[in-house]
Chains A and B, each alone.
Chain A
Amino acid sequence: MKGLFGRKGSGRRKKEGAASADRGILVFENTSEVIQAERVLKKAGRSVRVMGPPPEIRSGCDLVIEFPLIEELDIVRELRGAAIPPLAVVPVTAPLLAPVDLFHTKDFGDYWMVRAANMKITVAKEDLTIVNVSGGGCPDVPFLAQQMVGKTLTDAPRPRDLGHTLCGYALDLAYEEMLRK
């Protein structure tokens, strides 16, 4: 991903990709490091958010962490201390460098569906019961679905506590987004 920064953009502009001078993104070697870094930074009380990489540097289904630029030095120090230094720190100075939202929400009438990366969770609006969990293709998805379907959002176990794969992580992001709704 590091080598892609010199690439020219296509000139297309995504609506959600508005530039923000006070935010930056942290780029890592792989998704596993993103997950670890998010955990370290949230534990330290940092206001960070996992997002999709901006179009300018996208390569596949990678993830990046958006953070307040003013905290750059402290954050990078914390990540070095945790042995997960970022490959690059990029200020969001141009629209094509703005990270994109990982979430897509769809209204199915009596149901809401939230997709985060490759995982979807669907909830009945009436009583917030989880009616479907799908996506991914990881071996633990049927287990996650079995544990969550039929329970309400508040009663269901957290995917992050059950899952062992990137699908479990993505499902947890979708679950959190659903809780925010």
Chain B
Amino acid sequence: MATTVDARGLSCPQPVILTLEAIRSGKDKEIIVLVDTDTSKENVTRAAASKGYRVHDVSPEGEGYRISITRG
């Protein structure tokens, strides 16, 4: 099971903040983050890496991206 964060339509730093809140909750090992800009994609992956999360996959989805990050 993965936690999904839908950050589409949000401007910086909100996608990062929502991702960090999901990381902090520690509910699931995998977190899926949906974003719709390149800037958000870069900011989210950078923030996740800084928290020790591994960027498992980044794939285009609709008009944006689907980012999968996993703990450890």
Contact of A134 among B12, B20, B50 (CB under 8 A): B12
Given that A131-B20, A134-B39 are contacting pairs, would A149 and B13 also be in contact in the complex, using a CB cutoff of 8 Å? no
A-B contact pairs, 9 of them (CB 8 A): A111-B13, A131-B13, A132-B12, A132-B16, A132-B43, A132-B47, A142-B42, A145-B46, A149-B46
Measured between alpha carbons, how far is A135 from B42 in the docked complex, in Å? 12
**B16 contacts A131, CB within 8 Å?**
yes
Minimum C-beta distance from B5 to chain A (A): 15
The residue in chain B whose Cβ has the minimal distance to the Cβ of A123 is B13
Tell me the smallest distance from the CB of B71 to a CB of chain A, in Å.
16
Query: Roughly how many angstroms separate A108 CA and B15 CA in the complex, as a whole number?
Result: 12
For residue B14, which residues in chain A have a CB less than 8 angstroms away from its CB? 108
Residues in A neighbouring B42, C-beta threshold 8 A: 142, 145
B20 and chain A: residue at smallest CB distance: A131
A23 in the interface, Cβ–Cβ < 8 Å? no
| Contact pick for B50, options A108, A111, A150, CB 8 Å | A150
Q: Does A47 contact B (CB under 8 A)?
A: no
- Cα–Cα, bound, A61→B50 (Å): 33
- Answer whether residue A64 sits at the interface, using C-beta atoms and an 8 A cutoff: no
CA A149 to CA B20, docked complex, whole Å: 13
Q: Which residue of A lies closest to B11 (CB)?
A: A134
Contacts of B49 in A (CB 8 A): 150
Expressed in whole angstroms, the minimum distance between the Cβ of A85 and any Cβ of chain B is 38
Q: Is B17 an interface residue (CB 8 A)?
A: yes
Q: Which residues of A contact B46 (CB under 8 A)?
A: 145-146, 149
CA distance A108 to B14 in the complex (A): 8
Give every chain B residue within 8 A of A122 (Cβ-Cβ): 12-13, 16-17
